[in-house]
Chain A
Amino acid sequence: MDVPVAATALRQRNLLGIADLSPGEIVLVLDTAEAMKEVGRRAIKKVPTLRGRTVVNLFFEPSTRTRTSFEIAEKRLSADTLNVAIGTSSVVKGETLVDTAMNIEAMSPSMIVLRHASSGACHLLARICKAAIINAGDGMHEHPTQALLDAFTIRERKGRIGGLKVAIVGDLLHSRVLRSNLLLLTKLGAEVWVCGPATLIPPGLDRLGVRVTTRVDEAVEGADVVMMLRIQLERMEGGYFPSLREYFTTFGMTDARLGRAKPDVIIMHPGPINRGVEIASEVADGPYSVILDQVSNGVAVRMAVLYLLAGGADDETVA
């Protein structure tokens, strides 16, 4: 399959989801992230690109990895950053999301990075804010920068995305990482297989351009990439599967199962991992694992997103 030609700019002022990006725009982000990764290798890991811009990280859900990654990316681009966490905000006093956003908006930030438990929360903010909205995970909907950093990591290891067999295994029902990844990977021409217990497969998933199976061996067979999704421990209490032990014996990724994949398979996980639930330690820490590369690349990819969205904004200090 032909590799899409990189676009020259992002058409949208927000990053609400992979659904809004063309293949060319995705390639543009990945190419830009290559340059940003180089910044991270310097002794002085800082460029003046976003100097004078304020970026608000508005996190309504606990997050270590994503929030830290965004904050480092913002600081490397010299933005003024502010973290608003739910515990310290007015939300605990009963303020609505719209009111919280309008108050932040009144202080004229350039961008708002939003993490929220409700699907569509970023769309709601985008309708009322002049600041660019970056989706850092909305409910069960999308987590676009995660999919972009996953794609970056795959491309870095495999040289391409088109034509690869990618198996995604785990909780397909509740995962925003899955939704963003299947959109991105299918847009770039990968063959995407998704696998999980039948209770965690949303009806209609098979109509989104992916192969759906409940047999993990079939998903992993000949795969170039195996991506594990986190099993949230509270799902067991929801009755989706009988026990963590049974989940691991049926769907957990072990060296034996991984043996069905291509010899140069890479194994990925968005984190945080549950050792011995969805993934065996021998796999997570083994030679095929690129889990920590994903984390490193997250900073470069988020720098690229911030940079490109700033370039599309209408104030004066374009990089």
Chain B
Amino acid sequence: MKRLLKGGRVVDPASGVDGRFDVLIDGDRIAQVGRDLPVSLAEGGDVLELGARLVVCPGFIDMHVHLREPGQEHKETVATGVLSAVAGGFTAVACMPNTKPVNDNAGVTQLILQKAREANLARVYPIGAVSRGQKGAELADIAELREAGCVAVTDDGLPIATAILARRALEYTSMFGMPVIEHCEDQSLKGDGVAHEGPVAASLGLRGIPGVAEAITAGRDILLAEMTGGQVHIAHMSAWTTLEAVRQGKGRGVRVTAEVCPHHFTLTDDLLAAPIPYDTNAKMNPPLREERDRQAMIDGIVDGSVDVIATDHAPHHYDEKNVEFDRAPFGIVGLETAVPICLDRLVRAGLIRLPRLVELLSVNPARILKVPGGTLAPGSVADITVLAPDLPVTIDRDTLRSKSKNTPYHGWTFTGGVAATLVAGRVVFSSPEAGWPTRRA
């Protein structure tokens, strides 16, 4: 079936396209991008008149989510996770292996992929464990994981336990061209910390996690990537010192990339004190840091040191968060808040332009994970995110599609949202109030 998207602003930095174009989809592929394509091209299919306010982008890929299945289906399932993803404008997600059991073997990978096929919404790319059981002792069966469909490996939730294991992982994955994704955190420095180490933690009496706990592990792995020629991706970067390590590595030509989460460039640890003191929805790992760190993340996004924006979507049940701060699990949901935050706080704020945002959310994740998408060039998959940059969006935890509601952004208003999400040419999410045409032109 053919589908013609007429009249939107097409932003496809991989093809150097930014302007008013029409996009013709044929089946699950992009057929043509051009000015004023004749309606007759979509003979027998759909013609959708988008209007100039909507922006057509290659589908956004969130390369850092926790879908919790198998094992913690009370928090999220693959089905609810991908529903949340497409509602948030993501056509694909890469899911972390810290499930129960851990995704360290083909059986778990196949289960996740089977659930994703049944849900049939966003694409799901499992990420396998670096070490068996994420125990940090021996490598998992990485070739088997890759064969089953894993696109990367990580021990996320924990760092790779030792330098020698990180070295082996970088060497071993280089045979397959897979990245090693690292949750950077020196465990001895983290200790039993629950908040960023600084004046806020000092005054609230919370045990601290210093920023350098992150930078030390990042530095270790960047050096190891340099030595081995492996590819390392720094997950959820939060500290200015880590950004410095990434910049230095890139400057020396190391194969290192880095991602930042929306909360780390919009929020600081001040949120732990007010408006809700000890709000467990402001507790995540890495923790919300200081203004200097927040500003550094913005600087990295602007100057290109940051490659990817990912959400670290970490659903937790209400009961698990409704406890003492130090007993609450780390993490917040992010799939349905990321696009409004980025459109408002980065693009509308004038810090970056839309093509750069598309690089961060689509082009670079596709390149790093070596998965389809990241472009609207003819012949590529018809995974498309349609943005409504003028749409006022108020975050309401009760209307989130995710099974969990643990967001610190409840009640916040942003300008910019998602009009539609297309996966393999199929409209899997659309919002008439955002301007998506309700009837065919």
The 0/1 profile, CB within 8 Å of A marked 1, for residues 321-335 of chain B is 011111100000000
The 0/1 profile, CB within 8 Å of B marked 1, for residues 19-37 of chain A is 1000000000000000000
Chain B, residue nearest A178 (CB): B205
Chain A, residue nearest B194 (CB): A119
Question: Which residues of chain A are within 8 angstroms of B277 by Cβ–Cβ distance?
Answer: 120, 123
Q: How far is the CA of A19 from the CA of B274 in the complex (A)?
A: 13
The answer to whether B200 and A98 touch across the interface, beta carbons within 8 angstroms, is: no
Chain B, residue nearest A119 (CB): B205
Interface range for B: 20 to 34
The 0/1 profile, CB within 8 Å of B marked 1, for residues 228-248 of chain A is 000000000000000000000
The one of A98, A120, A203 in contact with B204, judged by C-beta atoms closer than 8 angstroms, is A120
Question: Which residues of chain B are within 8 angstroms of A84 by Cβ–Cβ distance?
Answer: none
Q: How far is the CA of A140 from the CA of B207 in the complex (A)?
A: 8
The answer to whether B326 and A118 touch across the interface, beta carbons within 8 angstroms, is: yes
A141 located at the interface, meaning its Cβ lies under 8 Å from any Cβ of chain B in the complex? yes
The 0/1 profile, CB within 8 Å of B marked 1, for residues 90-111 of chain A is 0000001110000000000000
The one of B202, B276, B319, B327 in contact with A202, judged by C-beta atoms closer than 8 angstroms, is B202
The answer to whether B326 and A139 touch across the interface, beta carbons within 8 angstroms, is: yes
Question: Which residues of chain B are within 8 angstroms of A208 by Cβ–Cβ distance?
Answer: 199, 202-203
The answer to whether A204 and B205 touch across the interface, beta carbons within 8 angstroms, is: no
The one of B199, B203, B206, B322 in contact with A96, judged by C-beta atoms closer than 8 angstroms, is B322
Question: Which residues of chain B are within 8 angstroms of A121 by Cβ–Cβ distance?
Answer: 324
The answer to whether A119 and B204 touch across the interface, beta carbons within 8 angstroms, is: yes
The answer to whether B206 and A119 touch across the interface, beta carbons within 8 angstroms, is: yes
Chain B, residue nearest A208 (CB): B203
Given A98-B323, A202-B197, A203-B198, A123-B278 contact (CB < 8 Å): yes
Q: How far is the CA of A97 from the CA of B278 in the complex (A)?
A: 15
The one of A98, A119, A142 in contact with B322, judged by C-beta atoms closer than 8 angstroms, is A98
Given A120-B278, A124-B278, A139-B326, A207-B204 contact (CB < 8 Å): no
Chain B, residue nearest A138 (CB): B205
A13 located at the interface, meaning its Cβ lies under 8 Å from any Cβ of chain B in the complex? no
The one of B205, B210, B276 in contact with A141, judged by C-beta atoms closer than 8 angstroms, is B205
A318 located at the interface, meaning its Cβ lies under 8 Å from any Cβ of chain B in the complex? no
Residues of B298-326 whose CB lies within 8 A of A: 319, 322-326
Question: Which residues of chain A are within 8 angstroms of B201 by Cβ–Cβ distance?
Answer: 202, 204
List residues of A whose CB falls within 8 A of some B CB: 19, 96-98, 116, 118-121, 123-124, 127, 138-142, 176, 179, 202-205, 207-208
List residues of B whose CB falls within 8 A of some A CB: 197-208, 210, 276-278, 319, 322-327
Given contacts A98-B323, A118-B325, 5 further A-B contacts (CB under 8 A): A202-B201, A203-B202, A204-B198, A204-B202, A208-B203
